[in-house]
Amino acid sequence: MTARAIIIGAPRSGSGKTSVTIGLLRALARRGLKVRGAKSGPDYIDPGFHTAATGLSGVNLDSWAMPPSLLNALAAQQADDTEYVILESAMGLFDGIPAPEGRSGSAADLARLYGLPVLLVLDVSGQSTTAAAVAKGFATYDPDVRMAGVVLNRLGSERHRKLSGDAIEAIGLPVVGAILRDPTLNLPERHLGLVQAGEYENLMAHLDRLADMVETSLEIDAILALTKPLEPSPGDFADALPPPAQRIALAEDAAFTFLYPHVAMHWRKAGAEIVPFSPLANEAPSQDCDVCWLPGGYPELHAGKLAVADNFRAGMARFSASKPVHGECGGFMVLGEALEDADGIGHRMLALLGHSTSFARRKMNLGYREARLRADCPLGPEGTLIRGHEFHYAQMTATGNDEPLADLADGQRNPLGPSGYRRGHVSGTFFHAIARGA
């Protein structure tokens, strides 16, 4: 079975494409269809909602961070033994970075590469027939990116729907959905994006409400008729991040959540065993594991609890005395001496590295990153080039005296200087690894 697919795009973040995507995924799954989600770019939260809505794993497809062969392999994996793939754009459909053709990180790259149609979600609040000018701009901006249909979002009335919809259909684009304004359908957000799927007490009830909205407001059969086969060129996993060891102790709870689905999936496929533990439950990594991985997440929201997790602290000290430990972003913050929370209260952390961080002194750091490792670590051997992403508000308040882990550049290879730290068996960085560079 080869899946048929469509891209859900929009002019900008906040247009409603995530609610449309999740609602459509859930509605199709409730119909008994085998459907998977995918997310363009490096967003690590939305794939969790895609997985919850369908019961099948979501994935990121990132044309900048993933070499073409890996991108094709992951796209083929999503399409295999699946009826439909719904691919959600990050930000605006054409938003990426200046890069060689097809490597900008935008969802438009994926539309061109795989010949997939786009379902354009337009927030038409505050406008009516002007929505047709926006739609026409999308339809004509790039002849290799085809707008197949439009969903009108945040309509105020039936008259509003008719004015906007008639104008758009007059330029030759079908309107296949019209959603009335309903703030109760909005997904809650915080500083790094949506509140994560795993934190909802009534997640499935909310997903079903979105599916009910889609059933009522979208022409689902017409949307399915717009889909095209997803048939990537042959690819492979040669540039995927290899498992750092045979048995991986993985911190996993509300403070440690940001591990890309494709990374964990490849580790398991390569024969590694992932052994989760919860620092918030005062658990330590199993001493029979070969490496410990602290992923990103929200330690700044749980700093007080982490500070008094003595069994976790002692277990990490024992483990790191003889085995590798790596932390990404939030995990990196916890490896340091101290973490200042949003109220400016300092909390002791593991002190396995010498830096300290603050969430009270916030400044957004966001963008693609390319890292050249200065030493062997769980990310790879010295000299390895890694591509990934940085997204955090915390700031370094003390640097300590540890050796840098990598030399960092931005997405256009402009040098950013040394990044992260290493000491003994311990390493960490604000940088989230996605794939090996190529």
Check 289, 292, 329, 377 and give the catalytic one.
329
Pairing of strands 84-88, 35-40: parallel
What is the radius of gyration, based on Cα positions, of the chain?
22
- Told to judge if 329 belongs to the known catalytic residues of this protein, a careful annotator would answer yes
Q: List, in order, residues 6 or more apart from 47 with CB less than 8 Å away.
A: 37, 38, 39, 57, 58, 59, 60, 261
Query: Annotated catalytic sites, by residue?
Result: 329
